[in-house]
């Protein structure tokens, strides 16, 4: 059975916003190189589109984490499934995420990555659901869209591993 998906943010609007966020990054990192850390799998589409629009020197690395939890709640205890290939020492790190929900995953991840002595760590997310935030200390530097508390798919985000490839952001209708 195929689910009915309502478009929440069109492909055109997503791409336009990514260009605007990339322009801010280009301004803020002028004269520096930015080290993008893509959080797999959800962050992969956004990372590619963002990286293509960044004009300062870019390096890329990937990390895959799983958050233990019951049901739809993440616990904040993060298991590293795939660690980074490169050291972070002295680098201007920009973490690229698909969505920040409770913030538990990111709070834990930032703590781990800080210990690797980067020059600085900033956070960039495609979507933010601030209503759901539990970890208030997670400061997001670049947000493409703030959305209400709805379960969304597309542009990297999945429902049971499906719909990551949708070129827009949608809501699965019940």
Which residues share a beta bridge with 125? 97, 143
Q: Which is nearer to ligand IMP, 38 or 152 (CB)?
A: 152
Cα–chain center distance at 140 = 10
Based on the shown chain and the rule CB under 6 A, indicate whether residue 128 belongs to the binding site for ligand IMP.
Answer: no
d(CA 108, CA 123): 13
**Beta pairing partners, 172:** 5
How near is the Cβ of 27 to Mg ion at its closest, in Å?
A: 27
Query: Site for ligand IMP (CB under 6 A): which residue of 22, 74, 88, 166?
Result: 74
Select from 105, 128, 142, 155 the one that contacts ligand IMP (CB under 6 A): 105
The residues that touch Mg ion, with contacts defined as CB under 5 A, are: 42
**By Cβ distance, which residue is nearest to Mg ion?**
42
The CA distance from 138 to 104, in Å, is 9
Closest to Mg ion by CB, 48 vs 56, is: 48
State how far the Cα of 129 lies from the Cα of 146, in Å rounded to an integer: 6
101 has catalytic annotation: yes
| Distances from the Cα of 36 to the Cα of 123, 124, 141, angstroms | 10, 10, 14
Over the range 51-68, which residues count as b (16 or more CB within 10 Å of their CB) and which as e?
A: beebeeebeebbbebebe
Catalogue the E-assigned strands of 10-76.
Answer: 34-40, 58-68
| Catalytic residue of the set 28, 101, 158, 160 | 101
Kindly state whether residue 67 participates in binding ligand IMP, applying the rule CB under 6 A. Answer: yes
For residue 151, the partner it binds in Mg ion, ligand IMP, none, with Cβ less than 5 to 8 A by kind, is ligand IMP
Per CB under 6 A, does 47 bind ligand IMP?
Answer: no
105 touches which of ligand IMP, Mg ion, none (CB within 5 to 8 A by kind)?
A: ligand IMP
- Applying CB under 6 A, the residues found at the interface with ligand IMP are 42, 67, 74, 97-105, 151-152, 157
Catalytically active residues are 101
């Amino acid at each position: 059975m195929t689910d009915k998906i309502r478009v929440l943010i069109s492909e055109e609007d997503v791409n336009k916003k990514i260009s605007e966020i990339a322009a801010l990054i280009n301004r803020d990192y002028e004269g520096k190189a930015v080290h993008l850390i893509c959080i797999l799998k959800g962050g992969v589409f956004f990372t590619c589109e963002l990286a293509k629009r960044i004009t300062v020197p870019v390096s890329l690395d990937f990390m895959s984490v799983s958050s233990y939890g019951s049901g739809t709640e993440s616990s904040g205890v993060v298991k590293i499934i795939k660690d980074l290939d490169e050291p972070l020492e002295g680098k201007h790190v920009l973490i690229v995420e698909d969505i920040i929900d409770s913030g538990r995953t990111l709070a834990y991840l930032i703590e781990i990555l800080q210990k690797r002595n980067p020059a600085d760590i900033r956070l960039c997310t495609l979507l933010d659901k601030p209503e759901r935030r539990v970890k208030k200390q997670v400061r997001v530097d670049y947000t493409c869209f703030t959305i209400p508390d709805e379960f969304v798919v597309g542009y990297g985000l999945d429902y049971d591993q499906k719909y990551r490839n949708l070129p827009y952001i949608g809501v699965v209708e019940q």
